[in-house]
Amino acid sequence: MAKQIFRKKKNRNLLLNYFKPSIYVQNVNKINLESLKKHGIKVFICDLDNTLTPFYRRIPNTDNLNLIQRVEKLGMHFVLLSNNAKKRVESFANKAGIEHYYWNAKKPLLKYFRVISKKFNVQPNEIIMVGDQLITDVFFANRAHIESILVVPVAGVDESNRLVRLLDRLVYKRLAQRNILHKGFFDEGEYGIDYDIL
């Protein structure tokens, strides 16, 4: 009986690991891109809403443009992967000069992980996923066995998916209870230090 309880507990922790980011930073500009490059990352997948920009803002800012430029200058591909609609994603991508973008991605489903891997001919260890949500972006990354970077949502609210936000908050709470992740306790943004691979 005792053994069974222990196993159940362990499984629950294992499940929570699917929501654990490899790196947690305040925002996308804190990411040490050179260290990603150094560790062999070739494809930088980035969420759009509340990661790059608030969901209501249509125009990329200077920081966005700089980030995209720096990623590409280092020889990595910048890929926009959003669960939002075509109109929103395409318009932003065009304004930001992003060549590779996918809308309606349905993260955490892995359809576009396969599409992107094939397109750029890369292995999971050559891809990183950057996003603001545990149950879409980080879960997507862990299901795909790729590393992930979690950022704080740039806007507090996201009207488009209240349920996702609610679940996200719940997972944050559980991760904190288990000492896996604490809101606001950021990493340095350097890849390869103090992270676990599933």
Q: Please, are residues 148 and 131 in contact by the beta-carbon 8 Å criterion?
A: yes
Instruction: Check binding of 47 to Mg ion (CB under 5 A).
Output: yes
Distance CA 64, CA 122 (A): 25
Query: By rule CB under 5 A, what count of residues binds Mg ion?
Result: 5
116 vs 129 by CB, closer to Mg ion: 129
Write down the least CB distance from residue 172 to Mg ion, Å: 14
The values of phi and psi at residue 30, to 5°, are -90, -5
The values of phi and psi at residue 129, to 5°, are -115, 130
Write down the least CB distance from residue 119 to Mg ion, Å: 22
Residues 114-133 that bind Mg ion (CB under 5 A): 132
* 82 three-state secondary structure: coil
Q: Which of 43, 44, 49, 127 binds Mg ion (CB under 5 A)?
A: 49
35 vs 161 by CB, closer to Mg ion: 161
- State the sign of the Cα–Cα–Cα–Cα dihedral 105, 56, 132, 15: negative
74 vs 152 by CB, closer to Mg ion: 152
Q: How far apart are the first and last CA of the chain?
A: 28
Q: Which of 25, 31, 33, 50 binds Mg ion (CB under 5 A)?
A: 50
Residues at the contact surface with Mg ion, assessed by CB under 5 A = 47, 49-51, 132
